[in-house]
Structures are given as structure tokens and as C-alpha cells.
Amino acid sequence: MRRPLIAGNWKMYKTIGEAMDFVARLKPLVADASHCELVVAPPFTALAAVAATARGSNVRVSAQDVHWDAEGAHTGDVSPRMILDAGATLAIIGHSERRHDHNETDEQVNRKLRAALAAGLEPIVCVGETFEERETGRAAAVLERQFTNGFRGLTSPDFSRIIIAYEPVWAIGTGRTATPEMAAESHAKLRSLAREGFGSENAEGLRILYGGSVKPENIRGLMAQPEIDGALVGGASLMAESFAAIVHYR
């Protein structure tokens, strides 16, 4: 049985004070949420403060990105060890906004993923097609490319520690959600790629989150799909009340 996971990706929002207020408000709202795992991903500047505020609660903390080197001359980047040092235990890798804003490639995603795993971080790897790729019938091929290149060279034990987020780019921040059936179809595709690459046990254990305009109003329909194991939530994760409503989808 896969344990559902609801993650909030705050992107470039919230100062340290705002982030700490959020966690203080969220904790009592989700204290009884034992049916799922809970994660928030603040910007780097607020990581340590959020981890300290969340300590002892059921809220786990993720970075939004990670560099592949342990240290070095990489201005503006943050290493896996620094993230762990700040108190976070997960890292989002390959979000479409990083692929778009910073030209991140599948190969870089692969390097980041290996570094995160080696350091002991739990990776949430994002994949998903653009509108144009879907319209031209290439959605499945894009997922296959991202999966094959992104997860290249991983061992089965490595793969068992990964969480995937399927985030169709056309649904992110647009208010256009994939229908639960569309999302489930892509999730099934990803699970079959996992089966081919890493065996049935890994495929059955793999958690695949859906991301793209998830809101309190649509989470229930998405979570009703057996293929959907949780959500990566952007906009609707910025207010403690709406994030808590998503967490309490049942």
C-alpha cells in the first residue's frame, strides 16, 4: 500500500517570517492527518527557519532544487549537504520552471538526482509534457525520454527512494487541471516505465504525485484515482487553510 503524500511547493514566495507564520498556522490544522505524509518546500532562504518551526510535527521539509556537487565554484547554487544541514530531508528536482528558466536538461536532472540520493536526500523528480507536446501526440514519448534520461544508471535500491511528480506544464499555474483520467493515464505510463526499468516491486511501491492547479475543489477527484498517490501543489499551498483543506481530501 503506497502512503499518499501531499507536498506544497512555495516557489519564490514567502520571507522567513511569512514562512514561519505559515508553519505555525498549519501545524494545528494538520496535526490529526495520519492518512498521508506532508511536505512543504520553502525557498532556500527560509529552509532552516521552516525546518526549526516544523520540528516535532508531521510536516517534513523539502528544498526546491539541489546542485550535483558536494561543494565548489558554483555561484548561487546549494549543495545536498547544505540542504540537509538546514534541516530539510527532501529535494524537488527537475521542476518545469527550472527546466524552462534555467535550461535544465534531463542529464542535469540525472546528476542532481544521483547527488541527492548519495547524500541521503529523498528526491521528488518532476516530469511532464508541454501543451504543444500534448497537442502533437508526443506526451507519452516525452515522459519516456525524461524517465529514461533522468533515471539513467540508478540501481533498484536507489530507485526505491524516489518520488515522481507528474506535472503537465500546461496545467501549472494556469487553473487548467488535467482531468483525473488524463493524469491517471500518464501515471500508468510512468509506472510501466518503472516496471520495465526497475522491476515490479519498485513499480508497485513508487509514489507518483500529480501537480498542476491542484486545489481544495479538485483534490478529491484526483485522489480517487488509484494511480494518483498524492499531489505537488503550487499556488494553493501558499495559504495554510487551503493547503490544509487539500491535505484533508478524504
CB of 238 to ligand PGA, least distance (A): 9
Contact stretch for ligand PGA (CB under 6 A) within 52-60, 67-75, 116-124, 233-241: 233-241
Selected binder of ligand PGA within 99, 183, 235, 246 (CB under 6 A):
235
**Closest to 40 in 3D by CA, of 185, 209, 237, 219:** 237
- Nearer to ligand PGA by Cβ, of 164 and 198: the residue is 164
SS3 75: coil
Q: What distance separates the 2 farthest-apart alpha carbons in the chain?
A: 48
Contacts of 87 (CB under 8 A, 6+ apart): 47, 48, 50, 51, 52, 55, 61
- Nearer to ligand PGA by Cβ, of 18 and 204: the residue is 18
Please report whether residue 233 would count as binding ligand PGA according to CB under 6 A: yes
DSSP string, 107-136: HHHHHHHHHHHHHT-EEEEEE---HHHHHT
Please report whether residue 36 would count as binding ligand PGA according to CB under 6 A: no
Selected binder of ligand PGA within 80, 94, 211, 230 (CB under 6 A):
211
CB of 127 to ligand PGA, least distance (A): 12
Is 95 one of the catalytic residues?
A: yes
CB of 8 to ligand PGA, least distance (A): 9
The span from the CA of 121 to the CA of 92, in Å, is 10
